[in-house]
Amino acid sequence: MSTTVDLELPAVQEIGLEEGRALFDRRARELVGMSGRDFLEKWDSGHYEDCDLDDYPGIVKLYMLMPLAR
* pLDDT tens, position by position, 20-41: 999 999 999 999 999 999 999 9
The three-class DSSP label of residue 51 is coil
pLDDT the model gives residue 53? 85
Mean pLDDT in residue range 49-67: 92
pLDDT the model gives residue 63? 95
DSSP annotation of 10: P
Mean pLDDT in residue range 2-15: 86
Q: Give the number of other Cβ atoms within 10 Å of residue 2's Cβ.
A: 3
The answer on pLDDT for 49 being more than 70 is yes
The three-class DSSP label of residue 69 is helix
pLDDT band at 1 (very low <50, low <70, confident <90, very high): low
What is the number of residues in the chain?
70
pTM of the model as a whole: 0.80
